[in-house]
Amino acid sequence: MVEIARKGYFLCCLKINTTKKMTKQKNKTLWEKTRKFLNDIHLWAGLISGIVLLVVCLTGTIYVYNTEIREWNASHLYKVSNDGLPRLSPNELLDKNKELIEGNITGVRISSDAERSFQISARAKGDKSRSGTTYFVNPYTGEMLGNSKEENAAVTFMGYMFSLHRWLLLDKIEEPIFEGLENRKLGSYITGASTILFTIGVLTGIVIWVPRKAKYWRQGLKVKLSGNWKRINHDLHNSLAFYSAIILFLMGVTGPFFSFPWYREALQKSLGTYKERSVGGHGPSAAAQGKGEGEKKRQEKVEVLPLEDYLYSADQVLDYEGEYTLSLPKNGGKTISVSKTKAGFFAPAASDKLVLDVASAEVVEADIFKEKPLNERISGSIKALHLGNVYGSFSKLLYFISCLIATSLPVTGTLIWINKMKKPKKKNKKKAQLA
């Protein structure tokens, strides 16, 4: 009798629970259905792109400090001691090292930091590299410290990190994997598509997190370390992702900019900064005009003033501490371009640019970043927003932490999914045992 009563009680409870579930299903709101749909998108976006994102985010974490790692490994090129000596003028430094520099000098870089070396950019004949060769000079003695072509373990390592981040090392494979498609493009497409899925995952994650946690903000914003590993893993995934959501979104939405031309064009058009690329000269008249201007430039020799004159003129407009980059004019050039970047922990990455008259050092054109419209400032900061140097070392630190979190998300998310897949099996076993 007791056994029959127990079974009857169990069946009654089972019936009640089943009725409750059916009622709940019938009474599901539109939002609950939408949330379930978004949750599925979030899940599959993460599962599909998980492995690629793990690689991209890990290499991105390291690459945040690309400049710092390179300079740390080759500190003899960047760091100097003045030993009480006065700083030599840019022209004196150029004259002292002309014979040691291969190719044409294209520019110089001058820092306001007293312990920073003087840098000279040059391009030798036949050099097809992006930036040519940089020579590092002691600004107090004029001694040549070395150049950027020297073997450097950090440069090699960071080169592999960049290749892995951008192309999954597919650019290192000579034979094309798919006929008619460059391996570099293939790698770029894979990382770009994965990054789009990552952005979708971030957006859907925020949407499905907020409504459920709105009543329990304290609980949702912390990791319960006293719980079991499943609870800790769940909190790590949700809470840490929420804290870093803004930066994760910025990294995700700017990533495909470098992978897909259509995405780059769409983003620029949405910001109102898209410009059609010019296709050279149009017709014989343009070609003739260009030829005439070239001959005129060769005939008119413009005397280049000491570089200090251009720096002085630039200082009148850009009155702050920072690093100057001067692009020297080619033969016959009538203007010289000067850019300046602020220095400091919170220094923005964007630079201000001036165009000066070679003969008089007068400012012909000024391109001040903070005076630009908001849409142009955002468009001009796409690379900085992706790399994390928007506001110097401060934003780099935030991006580094966020990248670490992003690296963990595919792992914690997969573990959550595996645990959920195990639950139905356990419930079915319990029901079978009770029956």
User: pLDDT digits over 84-131, tens only?
Assistant: 889 999 999 999 998 899 889 999 999 999 999 999 999 988 887 778
Do 35 and 211 meet the contact criterion of CB atoms below 8 Å apart? yes
Paired tokens of 139: 């600004």
Q: Provide the pLDDT confidence category of residue 5 given band limits of 50, 70 and 90.
A: very low
Residues for the chain: how many in total?
Answer: 435
Do 340 and 324 meet the contact criterion of CB atoms below 8 Å apart? yes
**158 has a pLDDT exceeding 60:** yes
Residue with tokens 């609980």: 219
The mean per-residue pLDDT over the stretch 281-288 comes to 43
Phi-psi region of 103 (alpha: psi -120 to 50; beta: other; left: phi over 0): left
The mean per-residue pLDDT over the stretch 234-254 comes to 92
Q: Provide the pLDDT confidence category of residue 281 given band limits of 50, 70 and 90.
A: very low
Q: Rounded distance, CA 191 to CA 50, Å?
A: 11
**Selected residue with higher pLDDT from 128 and 373:** 373
pLDDT at 399: 96
Domains of the chain by start residue, with CATH:
41-66+161-270+403-434 (no CATH), 75-151 (3.10.450)
**356 has a pLDDT exceeding 80:** yes
pLDDT at 12: 52
The mean per-residue pLDDT over the stretch 286-310 comes to 64
Paired tokens of 271: 């910001």
Name 160's Cβ contacts closer than 8 Å, sequence gap at least 6.
169
Do 406 and 244 meet the contact criterion of CB atoms below 8 Å apart? yes
Distances (CA, A) of 217 to 236, 370, 413: 15, 37, 21
**284 has a pLDDT exceeding 50:** no
Do 133 and 121 meet the contact criterion of CB atoms below 8 Å apart? yes
Phi and psi dihedrals of 65, rounded to 5?
A: -105, 35
* CA 327 centroid distance within chain: 25
**24 has a pLDDT exceeding 60:** no
**286 has a pLDDT exceeding 70:** no
**313 has a pLDDT exceeding 70:** yes
**421 has a pLDDT exceeding 70:** yes
pLDDT at 396: 95
The listed range with the strongest mean pLDDT (20-24, 205-209, 333-337) is 333-337
Which of 4, 318, 387, 370 is closest to 165 using CA atoms?
A: 387
pLDDT at 35: 84
Angle at 281 between CA 275 and CA 283, to 5 degrees: 130
Q: Provide the pLDDT confidence category of residue 2 given band limits of 50, 70 and 90.
A: very low
The mean per-residue pLDDT over the stretch 29-58 comes to 90
**215 has a pLDDT exceeding 80:** no
Phi and psi dihedrals of 301, rounded to 5?
A: -90, 120
pLDDT at 397: 95
pTM above 0.85, yes or no: no
The mean per-residue pLDDT over the stretch 357-375 comes to 93
Q: Rounded distance, CA 259 to CA 188, Å?
A: 5
pLDDT at 218: 67
**426 has a pLDDT exceeding 50:** yes
Q: Calculate what percentage of the chain has a pLDDT beyond 70.
A: 83
